[in-house]
Amino acid sequence: HNRLFSGVQPTGDLHLGNYLGAIRRFAPMQDQFDCIFCVVDMHAITVWQDPKALRQKTREVAAAYIATGVDPKRSIIFNQSQVMQHAELAWVFNCVARIGWMNRMTQFKDKAGKNRENASLGLYAYPSLMAADILLYRGTHVPVGDDQKQHLELTRDIAGKFNNDFKNEIIEEGFEDGDFFPITEPLISGPAMRIMSLRDGSKKMSKSDPSEMSCIALMDDADKIAQKFRKAKTDPEPLPSELEGLEGRPEARNLVEIYAALSNQSSEDVLKEFGGQGFGAFKPALADLAVAHLSPISSEISRMLADPDEIDSILRDGAERAGEIAEETMKHVRQIVGFLS
Ligand code: ATP
Ligand code: MG
């Protein structure tokens, strides 16, 4: 039985990286899997969030799911904090995962920065909560961007260690092959799995990047999008005609990949069309393409945000359905680990 889970944090303005690496891939998955799409507000508070903004951003992420074609009846859309079992299973996983595993996580190192002693304990334990998100639904497939690869490997390690540590109890609980949690398959292939910052080709585009010019936000208007691409960092050379010519040119490669992903072509095809041309010609073409692609989505998100009660009720309904699956899993987990109930 295949179940797919993915989540996005309501931390800031959704951007092209979130869209291409994750959100736009969600709706098509509904044909193949039972899908659960979560707005991970408990992950968001691992770094400071203004409470009012958090509520608004939670609605915005949910609206983005729906605006890109996720059907809240067919799939489950909800916000994480409404299903308390996420926190409960994360605690169990905090006791399964090893400190040494967490110490290797590059996202923590990046986000904590130099002053690591002052980062929240939640930020450190983030991957354990993420494993709980997925495994609470015994999720088998997880579509995410490339930056989440390491966390998904950790999810597999946690599932494997849990299955192993509690082997006898799991069999006693009626799971004869001893595999209570599935070993989750990451879905991270295809183009545009790692969109880079427009200001720095060595950093991924991130909601939490303090430079507004580093991201194309889903909600940016046409002028803003054109301005941000115009000011995007590039080199003085024209575009090459072949892929090898992008070697050592991360900013140029990034823009070509964005163009390719938005027009459903390969980067090779984009270079066939634009090879030999300068960024003065390429950037406006890219901006036009992005605007044509994003503007129907952003108008739909705005339309939905005008009726927050409707979004809230979709999220409550989703939480109820998610909660039933979650409680089913937790009944077994409590029994397996030896909690008296
Ligand atoms: P934050 O800076 O708060 O971590 P974020 O931009 O990294 O925000 P997340 O909510 O952490 O966004 O991630 C949501 C999804 O978007 C994940 O599947 C993640 O892998 C994907 N994603 C994030 N940034 C990129 C990117 N630059 N390129 C491709 N996918 C991305
Ligand atoms: Mg992130």
ipTM value, please give it.
Answer: 0.99
The alpha carbon of 238 and the centre of ligand 2 are apart by a number of angstroms equal to 32
Dist. CA 62–CA 236, nearest whole Å: 40
> Which pLDDT value is given to residue 334?
98
In the residue annotation, 272 being an active-site residue is answered as no
- List beta partners, residue 36: 5, 76
CA distance 74 to 23: 16
Under the banding of pLDDT at 50, 70 and 90, the label for residue 196 is: very high
Nearest ligand 1 atom to alpha carbon 12: 3
Cα(22)–Cα(316) distance, rounded to whole angstroms?
23
| Its pTM surpasses 0.90 | yes
In 3D space, the residue among 183, 141, 140, 134 whose CA is nearest the CA of residue 161 turns out to be 183
CATH number assigned to the domain comprising residue 279: 1.10.240.10
State residue 179's pLDDT score. Answer: 95
Give the model's pLDDT for residue 157: 98
Residues 316, 297, single domain; the answer is no
Q: Is the dihedral of CA 11, 193, 280, 244 positive or negative?
A: positive
pLDDT score, position 250: 97
- pLDDT value, residue 335: 98
Residues 250 and 280 both lie in one domain: yes
Catalytic residue (one of 207, 224, 233, 272): 207
Is residue 314 within 8 Å of 62, Cβ to Cβ?
Answer: yes
Q: Determine whether the shortest distance from the Cβ of 130 to ligand 1 is under 6 A.
A: no
How would you write the chain as a 3-class SS string? Answer: CCEEEEEECCCCCCEHHHHHHHHHHHHHHCCCCEEEEEECHHHHCCCCCCHHHHHHHHHHHHHHHHHCCCCCCCCEEEEHHHCCHHHHHHHHHHCCCCHHHHHCCHHHHHHHCCCHHHCCHHHHHHHHHHHHHHHCCCCCEEECCHHHHHHHHHHHHHHHHHHHHCHHHHHHCCCCCCCCCCCCEEECCCCCCCCECCCCCCCECCCCCCCHHHCCECCCCHHHHHHHHHHCCCCCCCCCCCHHHHCCCHHHHHHHHHHHHHCCCCHHHHHHHHCCCCHHHHHHHHHHHHHHHHHHHHHHHHHHHCCHHHHHHHHHHHHHHHHHHHHHHHHHHHHHHCCCC
Q: Is residue 215 part of a domain?
A: no
Cα distances from 300 to residues 3, 60, 81, 295, 307, in angstroms, run 28, 11, 25, 9, 12
Q: Is there a binding annotation on residue 295? A: no
Domain co-membership, 294 together with 322: no
Arithmetic mean of pLDDT, 231-237: 96
Residue 308's pLDDT band (cuts 50, 70, 90):
very high
Instruction: Mark residue 250 as left, alpha or beta (left: phi above 0; alpha: psi -120 to 50; beta: remaining).
Output: alpha
Query: Could you tell me if the CB of 256 is within 6 A of ligand 1?
Result: no
Q: Is 45 in the pocket of ligand 1 (CB under 6 A)?
A: no
pLDDT above 90 (res 1): no
Domain total in the chain: 2
Residue-wise pLDDT tens digits, 282-298: 999 999 999 999 999 99
Tell me, yes or no, whether 92 and 185 share the same domain: yes
Whether residue 292 is found in the same domain as residue 313: no
- Within a domain: residue 202? no
CA end-to-end span of the chain, whole Å? 28
pLDDT exceeds 80 at position 65: yes
Distance from residue 4's CA to the centre of ligand 1 (Å): 18
pLDDT band at 280 (very low <50, low <70, confident <90, very high): very high
The per-residue pLDDT for 191 is 85
Q: Are residues 48 and 149 in the same domain?
A: yes
Question: Could you read off the pLDDT of 74-121 as tens digits, one per residue?
Answer: 999 999 999 999 999 999 999 999 999 999 999 999 999 999 999 999
- Find tokens 């002028």 and name the residue: 223
Q: Is 206 within the bounds of a domain?
A: no
> For 203-222, how does the pLDDT look when each residue is reduced to its tens digit (9 = 90+)?
999 999 999 999 999 999 99
Mean pLDDT taken over the chain: 97
Q: Is 52 a catalytic residue?
A: no
Query: What confidence tier does 190 reach under pLDDT thresholds 50, 70, 90?
Result: confident
Task: Tell me the best of 4, 9, 16, 18 to mutate to test the pocket of ligand 1, counting ligand atoms within 8 Å of each CB and taking the most.
Answer: 18
d(CA 128, CA 89) in angstroms, rounded, equals 9
* 3 confidence band (pLDDT: 50, 70, 90): very high
CATH number of the domain that residue 114 is part of: 3.40.50.620
Distance 186 CA to ligand 1 centre (A): 15
* Residues 245, 164 share a domain: no
Catalytic residue among 52, 73, 111, 228: 111
Structure confidence at residue 192 (pLDDT): 92
Relative to the CA of 208, which ligand 1 atom is closest? 2
Q: Identify the pLDDT of residue 33.
A: 97
Ligand nearest to the CA of 14: 1
> Predicted confidence band at 48 (pLDDT cuts at 50, 70, 90)?
very high
Segment 268-278, tens digit of pLDDT: 999 999 999 99
Does residue 283 sit in the same domain as residue 311?
no
If asked whether residues 61 and 22 sit together in one domain, one would say yes
Q: Which residues are CB-contacts of 87 (< 8 A; sequence separation ≥ 6)?
A: 42, 129, 132
Judge whether 120 lies within some domain: yes
CA-based nearest residue to 171, from 330, 336, 328: 336
Q: Do 19 and 59 share a domain, yes or no? A: yes
Range of the domain at 176: 3-193+307-337
Question: Do residues 35 and 184 share a domain?
Answer: yes
Is 214 a member of any domain? no
